[in-house]
Amino acid sequence: MRKQILKYIEKKSKVDLGELAVLLGTDEVTVANEIAAMENEKIICGYHTLIDWDKAGVESVSALIEVRVTPQRNQGFDRIAERIYNYPEVNAVYLISGGYDLLVTLEGKTLKEISLFVSEKLSPIEAVVGTATHFIMKKYKDHGTILVKKSGSERMLVTP
Amino acid sequence: MRNPLSQKVTSIAPSGIRKFFDVVSEMPDAISLGVGEPDFDTPWRIREEGIYSLERGKTFYTSNAGLKELKIEICKYLDRKVNVQYDYNSEVIVTVGGSEGIDIALRAMLDPGDEVLIPQPSYVSYLPCTVLADGVPVPIPLQEKNEFKLTAEELEAAITPKTKILVMPFPNNPTGSIMTREDLEPVVEVVKKHDLFVISDEIYSELTYGEKHVSIASFEGMKERTILINGFSKGFAMTGWRLGYACGPKEIISQMVKIHQYAIMCAPTNSQYAAVEALRNCDEEVQEMVEAYNQRRRFLVHEFKRMGLKCFEPFGAFYIFPSIQEFGMTSEEFATRFLQEEKVAVVPGSAFGDCGEGFLRISYAYSIEDLKVALERFERFIMRLRSEK
């Protein structure tokens, strides 16, 4: 039941409890209780809205920044990560295997704003030994949702 | 000039669905609950495999009975899903959709005058295909009180010395009815007792909710007398690829291969390569679709119940078959008025046999959002009908 609820609200967090109960073949109270319990247990960590800012006419720039760092004694990467993720403009910070250490994703209003963040906030951190900033030019798919919509259904209206 | 047409062909009535389709196509802004195919695109990995087969230049005929790799996968799949074991080399033929399998099975098995029992309501092609194969179709009208399952008594009553084949259309289009192991047991006994053969159309076998699909071929002594028809259209959302298969006793399959070889040559090569991927690696994708259908099914059952419409709960395919007898009009009248007044297309139950009169086939191969819009109009329509009375 939990997995089914999660799979549903992962795509559609604007949930009508009564409807979800019908779809899953259970009752509203069960669904509400499960959701509340999962919120408490921090299985459900938040409800977000997927927005195509371009369409909304709001200028914004997203970037992925590869960060190479020197891990610190006793604290590994966690301390550095914390110094980075506490900036509100930072969307996500991941520890990555391979050619670099941290992947930071960032939203800014302009290219300049992001450049300033890298040069004035990120690079000066002592443990940071190098960065590479990639600006996102177009989002095709985000959070499992395809943003570049295809045309409507090809099906005929009535078939046997 | 002489009449260019065969009497046999002209005697066949055009499909009731076709008639309705012509009306709908005149209404460009109509929405529909009348579709008999999945709303999902074919899973990408299957499409990718089809594209890749083109890139590799797989553009030639395959052997008549089908690509060896695919036949092997079909056998593994049937072993895994319905626990029936076939020899890929002699007991399997890959066909152009399940429809071709039905056609050539009937043609391979019927002599003029042989009777074919066809439980109805059911898919529209069993009856004309029987006529084209010089057989005599004998409909068995199934009953709502049995949830449109076939009972041993109904079967027994329809059998004559000329009966040769029983068509088993489960999970059923249009009723959504399924036959469980317990339901099949007594039917199997009658089939054996009267030495009948079975053409089991299991095209919706992936789409059952709750109980897993049981093939009649999996009963002891039934593999020898069953042609199992299945395909990729419904479960794998591959209608346009036109790919199905038939499995059964060597002596029947080899004659079917003969007809297929002269009439068709082989099933589309690229579809066959894509289907290998479908059987090997798509259990998860299929499962996701089944879960989505199941949610919609629950939604429709709930909504119809709320509207006070008489309807049994279906556990297979993607159809629900509510009764509209309370409104005192034929299914066709109901569907026509519904289309004209609310611009929603549904298929009258009578298109699937006379005993489908008084019912509608509602498809749930639509998103919940689409279903909501259509059901809103449906409710408005039946409220109006009720107030007219």
**List of chain B residues whose C-beta atoms are within 8 Å of the C-beta of residue A6:** none
Q: What is the mean pLDDT of residues B186-195?
A: 98
Contact B237, B38 (CB under 8 A): yes
Q: pLDDT, tens digit, for every residue of B155-182?
A: 999 999 999 999 999 999 999 999 999 9
Number of domains comprising chain A: 2
Contact A63, A158 (CB under 8 A): no
pLDDT at position B197, please?
98
Contact B246, B105 (CB under 8 A): yes
Select from B85, B95, B142 the least CA-distant residue to B119: B142
- Give, in degrees to the nearest 5, the angle at Cα A137 between A133 and A141: 110
* Helix-helix angle B97-109:B250-263, to 10 degrees: 110
Give contacts of A 14-53 with B, CB under 8 A. 19, 22-25
Q: Other C-beta atoms within 10 Å of A18: how many? A: 13
Please check whether residues A82 and A26 belong to one and the same domain: no
Please check whether residues A22 and A90 belong to one and the same domain: no
pLDDT at A151 over 70: no
Quote the CA–CA distance of A74 and A81 in Å, as a whole number. Answer: 14
Q: Does some domain include residue A90?
A: yes
Q: Does some domain include residue A53?
A: no
Quote the CA–CA distance of B312 and B367 in Å, as a whole number. Answer: 22
- Give, in degrees to the nearest 5, the angle at Cα B347 between B345 and B351: 150
Q: Does some domain include residue A159?
A: no
B123 contacts chain A (CB < 8 A): yes
Backbone angles phi, psi at A23, to 5 degrees: -60, -35
Measured in angstroms, the CA of B340 and the nearest CA of chain A are apart by 15
Tokens coding B46: 């299957």
Please check whether residues A74 and A134 belong to one and the same domain: yes
Select from A70, A66, A132, A136 the least CA-distant residue to A104: A66
Q: Does some domain include residue A101?
A: yes
A156 contacts chain B (CB < 8 A): yes
Q: pLDDT, tens digit, for every residue of A57-116?
A: 888 899 999 999 988 777 789 999 999 999 989 999 999 999 999 999 998 889 999 999
Q: Does some domain include residue A55?
A: no
pLDDT at position B67, please?
98
The dihedral built from the CA positions of residue B325, B330, B332 and B337, taken in this order, carries a sign that is negative
Please check whether residues A81 and A129 belong to one and the same domain: yes
Q: Which residue has tokens 């802004």?
A: B29
Residue B241: pLDDT band by 50, 70, 90 thresholds? very high
- Give, in degrees to the nearest 5, the angle at Cα A14 between A8 and A19: 65
Tokens coding B122: 């059911």
Between chains, do A24 and B347 touch, taking CB under 8 Å as contact? no
Please check whether residues A72 and A130 belong to one and the same domain: yes
pLDDT at position B382, please?
97
Tokens coding B96: 């152009």
Contact B165, B111 (CB under 8 A): no
Please check whether residues A35 and A68 belong to one and the same domain: no
Contact A11, A23 (CB under 8 A): no
Quote the CA–CA distance of B67 and B278 in Å, as a whole number. Answer: 14
Q: What is the mean pLDDT of residues B299-328?
A: 96
Cα-only R_g, chain A = 21
* Helix-helix angle A28-40:A17-24, to 10 degrees: 110
**CA-nearest residue of chain A to B174?**
A160
Please check whether residues A14 and A84 belong to one and the same domain: no
pLDDT at B51 over 90: yes
**List of chain B residues whose C-beta atoms are within 8 Å of the C-beta of residue A156:** 21, 35
Please check whether residues A76 and A26 belong to one and the same domain: no
**List of chain A residues whose C-beta atoms are within 8 Å of the C-beta of residue B318:** none
Between chains, do A158 and B368 touch, taking CB under 8 Å as contact? no
Quote the CA–CA distance of B86 and B74 in Å, as a whole number. Answer: 9
pLDDT at A150 over 80: no
Give contacts of B 345-384 with A, CB under 8 A. 345, 347, 351, 368
Select from B70, B61, B59 the least CA-distant residue to B94: B70
Please check whether residues A70 and A130 belong to one and the same domain: yes
Q: pLDDT, tens digit, for every residue of A16-43?
A: 999 999 999 999 999 999 999 999 999 9
Measured in angstroms, the CA of B66 and the nearest CA of chain A are apart by 26
B17 contacts chain A (CB < 8 A): yes
CATH number, domain containing residue A72? 3.30.70.920
Contact B272, B66 (CB under 8 A): yes
Between chains, do A157 and B30 touch, taking CB under 8 Å as contact? yes
> Structure pTM?
0.91
Please check whether residues A36 and A81 belong to one and the same domain: no
Helix runs in B4-124, H state only: 7-10, 16-24, 44-55, 68-82, 97-109
Residue B298: pLDDT band by 50, 70, 90 thresholds? very high
Please check whether residues A78 and A110 belong to one and the same domain: yes
Quote the CA–CA distance of B343 and B85 in Å, as a whole number. Answer: 48
Measured in angstroms, the CA of B36 and the nearest CA of chain A are apart by 5
- Give, in degrees to the nearest 5, the angle at Cα B52 between B74 and B63: 45
Question: Across all residues in chain B, what is the average pLDDT?
Answer: 96
Q: pLDDT, tens digit, for every residue of B55-80?
A: 999 999 999 999 999 999 999 999 99
SS3 A64: strand
pLDDT at B16 over 80: no
Select from B74, B106, B83, B79 the least CA-distant residue to B220: B83
Q: Does some domain include residue A47?
A: no
What is the β-pairing status of strands A145-146 and B115-120? unpaired
pLDDT at B389 over 70: yes
**List of chain B residues whose C-beta atoms are within 8 Å of the C-beta of residue A25:** 294, 298
Containing structural domain, residue A119: 61-139
Between chains, do B295 and A158 touch, taking CB under 8 Å as contact? no
Please check whether residues A79 and A117 belong to one and the same domain: yes
Select from A72, A118, A77, A73 the least CA-distant residue to A97: A77
For B226-261, letters b (16+ CB in 10 Å) and e give: bbbbbbbbbbbbbbebbbbbbbbbeebbeebbebbe
Q: Does some domain include residue A25?
A: yes
The identity of residue B336, as a single letter, is T
C-alpha B165 chain-centroid distance: 17
Contact B123, B352 (CB under 8 A): yes
Q: Does some domain include residue A50?
A: no
pLDDT at position A144, please?
84
For B163, the enclosing helix (H) or strand (E) is: strand B163-168
**List of chain B residues whose C-beta atoms are within 8 Å of the C-beta of residue A4:** 291
